[in-house]
Amino acid sequence: MSSEDLIEKTIGRFGKFQTWILVLIAIGRYPTEFQLNNVVFIIPGVEYKCLDTGALNATNYCPCENPEYDQSTIVTSVTSEWNLICDRTAFASLAQSMMQIGILVGSLLFGYISDSFGRKPSVLMSLFFEPVFIITSAIVPQFWMFLVCRFLIGTAVGGTMLCCYVLLIELSGKSFRAYLTGLQEISFISGYIIVGAIAYYVRDWRNLQLVTSVPWLAVIVYYWLIPESPRWLITMGRKKEAIVILTYIAKKNNRSVENIDIIVYDEEEPKKQKSGNYLDLFKTLKIRNYTMIAALVWMFCSHTFFGVNQYIGRLQGNIYLNVMLSAASLAPGLILVITGTRFLNRKTSIIISFIVGAMSLLVFIFIPSNMETLMLVFAIIGQTGAYTSFIQTYLFTSELFPTVIRNSAMGFSSMFARVGGFIAPFVVNIGTEWISILIFSAIAFSTAILCCFLPETKNINLTNSIEETEVKEYNKT
C-alpha cells in the first residue's frame, strides 16, 4: 500500500469543501450537544418543603406526598412534575440513564447502517430524527412516555456522535486528523455553553426541549449538501461514484482534477469487500484484541466523563454559572488535544489525560466542603481530563480499524460506553461523596493502563480491509 493518503493526494488534507461540511455537521449536531448536557436542568436534584400533616414544612422530608418545590432556580422539571423524590429517586436516575441505553442501541444500529448502506444515509437519518424525538418528549403527558422518548433521543444521539465523526475523518487527509479531533468538538463546547444560557432564560423543561430542537428540523436540506464518503465507496468497489465525488470536491478546493480516475483505480485493491458487520470484529486475532480492549476503554472513559459531568450540577453555587464555567473550561482542553495529537504519540497523549483526570479527582476528595471555588476548580480539571481522553479515544479507535468495519467497531465500543454512562448516575447517587469520587478516579487509572495494550497509530494511512489491518505493522511505541 502506498504511504501517500488517497484523499490527501486527490482533494487535499482539508480544504474549503471539507471546512463547509465541518460547519454543516457542527450546526446539525447542536441538539446532540444540548441533550448530552441538559440533564442538570431537565432532571435536576430538587429542594422542596413537605406540606404533609406532621412534616412541619421540613425541607426534603421523606416520605412526602405533598411537596412544594423551590422554583427560584428551575421553575419546572421532570423531577418536580412527576415527583421523582424519596422512594422515586431511582426513577430520576433511570430517566438520566435511559438516554445512555438509547445511545447504546443507536450506536449499534447506525454503525450497521453506516457500514452497510453508507455514511451519508446514517448521518442524515440521525440528524433529522433527533429533533423529532426531542419535540415528542416535550409534549408527552406520562412519565413512561418520556422514558421512551429519552431512549429514542439516545438512539439518534448515538448515530450523530459516531457517524458524523467518521464521515469527517474519512473526508480528511491523514496529516489533518490531529486538528480535526479538536475542531469537531467546537460544537460540543459551544453547545454546552449555549444550553446553560438558554436554560437560564427558559426555566420550564418542556419549553427548553422545544427551543433546543424545533429549529433543527431544517437539517432535512442536508440531503442535497452532504456527500457520501469516497473512502467507503472505494472500499465497496463503487469507484466510479467515488471518482465523481472526488472530482467535485477537488474543483471546490481549487485543485487539479486530472488523473483522479487513474489515482483511484491504481489504489491497491484488496479482496472483494462485502459490507462489514459486528461478527467481523471477532473473526481475526488482531481485530478481536483491538475490539475487546477498545470496548473497555470506551466504557471506563464514558463512565468517568458523564459521572463527573452530572456531579458538577450538584455542586454549591449558581447551577447556570457552574455549567457554563465548566463548559468554557473545556475550550483549553481542545488546544491540549490538538497539541498532544500533533506532537505526542496517541497513547502517550491519552494516558496523560486519564492520569490528570484521576489525580484531580483524588485531590477533590480532601477539599473541605466550605471551599466551594476550589471544589469547582478540581471538579472541572477532572472533567477536562475525562473529556480530552474521550475525544482522543474517538480518533484512536477510528485509526485502529479498517474502513469496512470502522463504524461497526466504533458502534460496538460506544455500546460499552453507554454501559459506563448508564451506571454513572447511580454512582453519583450512592450518597457517600468520597466513595463516588474514588470510583471515578480508580476507573480513570484503570483506563490509562488498558491503553498501554493497544498499538500506536499516529501518522498511519487508514486501512480499508480486515486483511490489510491484520498484516499491518504499527509503531511499537
Distance from C-alpha of 174 to C-alpha of 5, rounded to nearest angstrom: 7
Q: CA 461 to CA 400: how far, in whole Å?
A: 10
Residue 150 CA neighbour count, 13 Å, CB half: 24
Sequence-ordered list of residues with C-beta below 8 angstroms from that of 38, at least 6 positions apart, any chain = 195, 199, 208, 212
363's enclosing H/E stretch is helix 346-365
Residues 20-45, buried b or exposed e (16+ Cβ, 10 A)?
A: ebbebbbebbbbbbbbbbbbbbbbbb
Provide the CATH topology of domain 6-43+84-471. Answer: Growth Hormone; Chain: A; (1.20.1250)
Burial class, 141, CB count within 10 angstroms (exposed 0-12 / middle 13-18 / buried 19+)? exposed
- The tens digit of pLDDT for each residue in 329-383 reads 778 777 777 777 777 888 888 888 888 888 888 887 787 777 777 877 777 787 7
Q: What is the pLDDT of residue 267?
A: 63
Please give the residue that has the higher pLDDT: either 331 or 230: 230
| pLDDT tens, residue by residue, 262-273 | 777 766 554 445
The reported pLDDT for the residue numbered 312 is: 60
CB burial class (10 A; 0-12, 13-18, 19+) of residue 477?
Answer: exposed
Res. 316 pLDDT band, cuts 50 70 90:
low
What average pLDDT does range 46-54 have in this prediction?
A: 88
Give 261's contacts (C-beta < 8 A, 6+ positions apart): 243
Query: What are the domain boundaries of the chain?
Result: 6-43+84-471
Beta bridge partners of 50: 67
What's the mean pLDDT when you consider all of the chain? 84
Q: What residues contact 44, with CB distance under 8 A and at least 6 apart?
A: 74, 77, 79, 313, 319
Segment 78-109, tens digit of pLDDT: 999 999 998 888 898 888 878 878 888 888 88
Question: CA 409, CA 282: separation in Å to the nearest integer?
Answer: 10
The pLDDT of residue 268 is 57
